[in-house]
């Protein structure tokens, strides 16, 4: 077992701003509290909420480290009160309140999942934020079921690629949108029955054509803005619209008559403010329903790039430029 130092170099934002404000800073190696473990980080995922924190648009909760990073894969190096020492040395992938952009971080054991043997460190680090987000939004709020059809926007992103694979593994028909034609074949290989470039194809018409005019059962939307009204046109009677983000704006105009006539429902959520108990509940459901599919290879994350921790600013720029197909991870 690696000796645990007292301090470490970790990535923080020295002030709100562009990617250039990210810097390596000296921070104490955290001590696990009740129900927590200390992870020797193997890799950490990069997510858009990290960018929002860097910009000053989202702040960690009181008492949470200023080190960025909401997910990580690592080995248990120490256990806090109430956590069995049998976990020492076990490789976990963990959802974090912060702290992943570092060689050491603490994680709640009930927000952590055992990494299947066939999953490498980069893939494991790319999963927790996406697993919790897709499970809750697509399958709990969106109530997607086998035999139904889902429209996944932003399908080339980290959340989008995982949503395509999870929906396909669940027996749903997937229609995926992306902004580049060269990404469509890979999306079809992931399980999308139809993949369209939104720049040259009307996704509403594509959904109606693919469903013989019926429309899709669920829309997973990350765009917001004027997409929302178009999404409603693409939904079938009784369809569910789930908003994850709003890259084109959070203020939308809706025709309530469309909602009422088609009996549509609108849902949305963000993961970070969820209570610890709610995240524990989600984690238990993911362990039961999704981990077996990760273990046998039916669901795999797409990792676009693995970069050293010192290149965190480059990773953020890649995400902001839309150059990422899947997830970017950082290695200490």
pLDDT tens-digit readout, 280-307: 999 999 999 999 999 999 999 999 999 9
Q: Is-contact 76 37, C-beta < 8 A? A: yes
- Predicted local confidence at residue 39, as pLDDT: 98
pTM greater than 0.75 = yes
pLDDT at 2 > cutoff 80: no
143-169 average pLDDT score: 97
73-98 average pLDDT score: 97
Residue 61, CA distances (Å) to 95, 133, 246 in order: 15, 19, 22
Q: Where are the alpha helices (DSSP H) in 56-151?
A: 121-125, 128-134
Residue 251: is it exposed, middle or buried by C-beta count within 10 angstroms (0-12/13-18/19+)?
A: exposed
d(CA 152, CA 89) in angstroms, rounded, equals 38
Residue-wise pLDDT for 262-278, tens only, equals: 999 999 999 988 999 99
* Burial annotation 180-213 (CB, 10 A radius, 16+ → b, else e): eeebbebbeebbbebbbebeeeebbebbbebbee
Residue 298: is it exposed, middle or buried by C-beta count within 10 angstroms (0-12/13-18/19+)?
A: middle
What is residue 29's three-state secondary structure? coil
């Amino acid at each position: 077992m690696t000796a645990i130092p007292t301090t470490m170099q970790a990535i923080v934002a020295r002030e709100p701003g562009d990617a250039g404000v990210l810097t390596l800073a000296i921070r104490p190696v955290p001590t696990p509290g009740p129900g927590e473990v200390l992870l020797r980080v193997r890799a950490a995922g990069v997510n858009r909420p990290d960018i929002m924190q860097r910009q000053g648009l989202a702040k960690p909760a009181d008492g949470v480290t200023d080190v960025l990073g909401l997910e990580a894969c690592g080995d248990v190096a120490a256990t806090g009160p109430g956590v069995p020492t049998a976990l020492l040395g076990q490789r976990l992938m963990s959802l974090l309140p912060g702290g992943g952009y570092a060689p050491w971080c603490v994680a709640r054991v009930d927000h952590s999942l055992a990494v299947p043997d066939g999953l490498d460190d980069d893939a494991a680090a790319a999963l927790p934020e996406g697993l919790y987000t897709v499970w809750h939004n697509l399958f709990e709020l969106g109530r997607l079921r086998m035999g139904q059809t889902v429209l996944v926007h932003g399908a080339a992103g980290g959340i989008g690629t995982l949503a395509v694979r999870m929906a396909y593994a669940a027996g749903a028909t997937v229609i995926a949108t992306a902004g580049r034609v060269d990404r469509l074949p890979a999306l079809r290989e992931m399980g999308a029955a139809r993949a369209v470039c939104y720049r040259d194809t009307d996704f509403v018409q594509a959904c109606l054509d693919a469903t013989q005019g019926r429309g899709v059962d669920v829309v997973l939307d990350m765009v917001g803005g004027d997409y929302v009204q178009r999404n409603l046109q693409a939904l079938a009677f009784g369809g569910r619209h789930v908003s994850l983000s709003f890259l084109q704006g959070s203020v939308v105009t809706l025709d309530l008559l469309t909602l009422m006539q088609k009996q549509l429902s609108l849902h949305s959520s963000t993961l970070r403010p969820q209570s610890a108990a709610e995240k524990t509940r989600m984690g238990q459901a993911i362990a039961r329903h999704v981990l077996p599919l990760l273990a046998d290879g039916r669901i795999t994350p797409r990792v676009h790039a693995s970069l050293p921790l010192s290149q965190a600013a480059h990773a953020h720029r890649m995400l902001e430029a839309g150059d990422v197909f899947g997830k970017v991870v950082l290695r200490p």
